[in-house]
Amino acid sequence: MAGEARDACGVVGIYAPGEDAARLAYYGLYALQHRGQEAAGIAASDGTSVVVYKELGLVSQVFDETVLASLRGHVAIGHVRYSTTGSTSWVNAQPSYKAGPGGQIALAHNGNLVNSLELKSSLQAAGGDPTPADGRPLPTTDTDLVAAHIARAEHGDLGAAILHVLPMLSGAYSFTIMDETQLFGARDPHGFRPLALGRLPGGGWLLASETCALDLLGARFVRDVEPGELVGIDRDGVHGTRFAEPRPAACVFEHVYFARPDSTLQGQNVYATRYRMGEALAAEAPVDADLVVPVPDSSVPAAQGFAKASGIPYGEGFVKNRYVGRTFIQPTQAMRRQGIRTKLNPLREVIAGRRVVVVDDSIVRGNTTRQIVAMLFEAGAAEVHLRISSPPIRWPCFYGIDMPDRDELIGARHDVDGIARHSGATSLAYLSLEAMIAATVVPGEDLCSACFSGRYPVPVPPEKLRSKHVLEQPATAR
């Protein structure tokens, strides 16, 4: 992706009697590493106490044999994080842990709530965070606020406490939650973020943000946790409770970019969806060229689809250093620029003298795209035609993607011609919103496309709009 939008997070949950749940959670997080590279954490219970270990860094950096051996038990949850609320610091890493009247709980969250100020005020009115001593600051993340509310509401029945708190929440959430003996998974009524349920080979159960985590653990996909559903898993099996009427609005950007291509979303394989987007892009924005190349890795399926539909040969135009993380996690633009050159190197022998079509999935600020175009011309490309397999991103996301403020989104400040001039490309074309949605083979009314259309399924409070510097009032009804 040629941009600087931060990913959604990734969560797992394991209930596996007789097995090492923390180790299973570790491998599940490994499969979800693409969803968060700032911090990782696992909470585990042996039936009597919950132990949490979390740290800044990649999964492989945070956990080793010594740490995993200390996380004993058959119940565990895990989390990989990009910050959407709260700063990048250890205290804001997840899972969040609380000890309340009913016992210990841990919670991991994928998404972002839009009413965190209201939650904080109600927690203050109720007496604050149940875990810290008086005088310590209240939680800084929406995740920690939710955990504090659940811990305060629990009086021996975690499921009832969760059901008491979920109706208070507004925005996007896929939760995995545990206490000493139980595992729960919950998804907001719109189902903005995915959450899948699988059966482990040994008979245990697995919750995960994407089905690729199930595949790594050899688990059988059972079903998605439904929007507005709380799933509980204990020694009696799996039981689901509907806490709100579903109003599906799953994030379409999961299909475009976030999810791994070997995952399944809403019944559709992500690779096949992106391939169809590339085919549609070739039909909508044809070009006379010699070679189609992707910006690796997320754009590969779309580039292959574009090549197939256009009849232009597909090739690898970049060598990618796979030991470099996604460049948008770098804190400054200068570091991001260096990150691109560290991460991607054009193949001069392939590119020189050719008219090249570069397929990417999206453009956020536009600076990375401009650098990629410059690199291709430096490598001898005769022409560089940009083709983007999604529409222009014009609006910030408030549901779990930490996109830049609207005045930093190049799609909000320029039309397509202006973006083309900024990029330095020979030509530029985007896939239409209608074609992108059609390629998902999911009904448009079941998808959230707010970052492209400005139509927000959940109303965004004015203070949130101000914090993102939204330049004009968006629509709130689809």
> Cβ distance 131 to 140 under 8 Å?
no
Please indicate, yes or no, if residue 154 is contained in any of the structural domains.
yes
**Is position 474 within any domain?**
no
Q: Which sequence positions are flagged as catalytic? A: 9
Radius of gyration of the chain (CA): 22
Instruction: Tell me how far apart the terminal alpha carbons of the chain are, to the nearest angstrom.
Output: 27
Are both 290 and 209 inside the same structural domain? no
- Identify the pLDDT of residue 476: 42
Listed residue (326, 283, 274) closest to 303, CA to CA: 274
Q: Do residues 243 and 275 share a domain?
A: no
Q: Are residues 189 and 317 in the same domain?
A: no
303 plus 175 within the same structural domain:
no
Q: How far is 414 from 394, CA to CA, in rounded Å?
A: 9
My answer on whether 352 and 436 are in the same domain is yes
3-state helix, strand, coil in the chain (%, to 5): 35, 25, 40
What per-residue confidence (pLDDT) applies to 292? Answer: 98
pLDDT (0 to 100) of residue 130: 72
pTM confidence score: 0.91
Query: Does 256 fall in a domain?
Result: no
> Is residue 462 in a domain?
no
Range of the domain at 314: 270-442
Adjacent-strand bridge partners of 184: 177, 232
What DSSP assignment string belongs to 140-164?
Answer: SSHHHHHHHHHHHH-SS-HHHHHHH
- Residues 129, 235 within the same domain: yes
Could you tell me the CATH number of the domain that includes residue 83?
Answer: 3.60.20.10
- Report yes or no on 170 lying in a domain: yes
Q: Are residues 57 and 189 in the same domain?
A: yes
pLDDT of amino acid 401: 85
- Which tokens go with 173? 């959430």
231/367 same-domain check: no
**Do residues 195 and 288 share a domain?**
no
Q: Is 64 exposed, middle or buried (0-12, 13-18, 19+ CB in 10 A)?
A: exposed
Cα angle at 85 between 83 and 91, to 5 degrees?
Answer: 70
Length of the chain measured in residues: 478
> 28 and 158, same structural domain?
yes
From the centroid of its chain, how far is CA 415?
Answer: 27
Residue 452 CA, distance from chain mean position:
17
* 20 domain residue, yes or no: yes
| C-alpha to C-alpha distance for 145 and 109, rounded to whole angstroms | 11
User: So what's the pLDDT on residue 466?
Assistant: 52
Instruction: Give me the amino acid identity at 124.
Output: Q
Distance CA 217, CA 77 (A): 15
d(CA 377, CA 366): 17
Question: Does a structural domain hold residue 216?
Answer: yes
pLDDT tens digit at each of 478 positions of the chain? 545 555 569 999 999 999 999 999 999 999 999 999 999 999 999 999 999 999 999 999 999 999 999 999 999 999 999 855 545 567 779 999 999 888 899 999 999 999 999 999 998 887 777 766 444 555 568 999 999 999 998 777 999 999 999 999 999 999 999 999 999 999 999 999 999 999 999 999 999 999 999 999 999 999 999 999 999 999 999 999 999 999 999 999 999 999 999 999 999 999 999 999 999 999 999 999 999 999 998 999 999 999 999 999 999 999 988 775 544 444 455 555 556 778 899 999 999 999 999 999 999 999 999 999 999 999 999 999 999 999 999 999 999 887 778 888 999 999 999 999 999 999 999 999 999 999 999 999 999 999 999 999 998 877 666 555 444 444 443 3
| Beta strand ranges found along 6-137 (DSSP E) | 10-15, 39-45, 50-56, 75-81, 96-100, 103-113
Q: What is the number of structural domains in the chain?
A: 2
The Cα-based distances of 139 to 87, 135, 198, 249 in angstroms read: 12, 12, 32, 28
Sign of the Cα pseudo-torsion (28, 320, 318, 336, in order): positive
Residue with tokens 């954490």: 41
Residue tagged 């096949």 (tokens): 272
**285 with 228, same domain?**
no
Residue 275 maps to a domain: yes
* Amino acid 471: pLDDT: 41
φ, ψ of residue 129 in degrees (nearest 5): -70, 130
CATH of the domain at 386: 3.40.50.2020
For residue 318, list its beta bridge partners: 346
* Amino acid 325: pLDDT: 53
Closest CA to 376 of 398, 395, 353, 399: 353
The Cα 9–Cα 247 span in angstroms is 22
Q: Minimal CA–CA distance to 302: which of 343, 249, 257?
A: 257
Helix, strand, or coil (residue 429): strand
* 288 and 189 fall within a common domain: no
Q: How far apart are CA 35 and CA 363, in angstroms?
A: 18
